[in-house]
Chains A and B, each alone.
Chain A
């Protein structure tokens, strides 16, 4: 069946089996392998994308269910060569090692800051607790989100 989904602002249309998962639909779109698959059971969060601005686990959503929705993946974060503060924060604070969980963590963090631009450390930890990072022990991820919140706020003030 034909499924049309807006991914990162572009309309993607493809014939798929009704059972195809959104994560596979996204990953089969040329250039969009930044969304990862890690567990089958909605535990790890490597597949988190934003659906209409809300973080969702794309391994737990069928592609057909995404018809007509706006999906944003990690590839949408950088705009015109400028990194999202979340991306910059992850680099500055050494919040990634192997990088496999990073796209899901960053999309989750993006959604958090969109809703709550000045979260406490505990709010950050709660927000990212739907994801697993096997490398960093989370300390620097929390610091990265904090960094992004601070820099985003400073940039807003300047503007």
Chain B
């Protein structure tokens, strides 16, 4: 750390380097922390989380009882102990609440005044954060599994919606209408993701085991389909051609730079693809247990030097090295299946929600206090006192 600081001071290093090193360290030391709690509002499982990118302060959560809660993540109390407060809730008593399970919530990428939620009650609602009333409501024919707004789009405000219907719908928030459909899949659309690099690139994953990459400017069809065998026909059986997984594909995630795409499937595999070419990079993550029948929300770290993937895996969150495929650690804390996790890029914190109704905050462990470090000195005060007698062994003398 000192060497990094010194190098930074002397201008030898790129400024990014220190940041990367520190954030990597922090990610590696993620664990459950007593000082961080999240209010228990949901009475049922939590399906989806989203942290807004503007301030990184507010987090949305959607539960399987249709409730949507907004949390304030920022700790202004100057104390290490902090419970993320629920600042507002669209509860069951609300007139506008989703009737069934909320599958996806997402902040409007450019402003916290609006967010979009989609639910199994076949609707997608565009909410006004101030009034907590839907400004717009889209009705669909089938359950809505997922939707996504492009985080970088400036020229359009399209929401891609994946429903029970094999056609991907594009809804325009400007006009409030469904302007386009993308045909090609043969199964339910479990996940849709816009590329964080190009505002016209869209990836969709479906139960037909395929992942398609679309250019929304081109109406005729998808750009290409991800093929797990990279076009090697000899390895694939005839019906497995052009499939990304051998089961349903229920998770999609672009890396922060948009160069790579991660997919998860019910064949308990996770694959990393080159998003430009659709090539399978053949990184082996091992078995990633995945029993979800719906979409799986997983996330990728941002700003670390080797990037990490956080994938819900049973009742734990698995942390993999993105390019190495190495299982770094399992974050165990939930008592039931984990459905979603969200990475906070500014503080290197991870929030995960599961069927046990808990939202857990995984916070980096602070540096050991015995290391002389100016930067951490300020934070250290609390930890020294935190050495708990409970951590000591209590062997009684009669065992000798």
A binds B: no
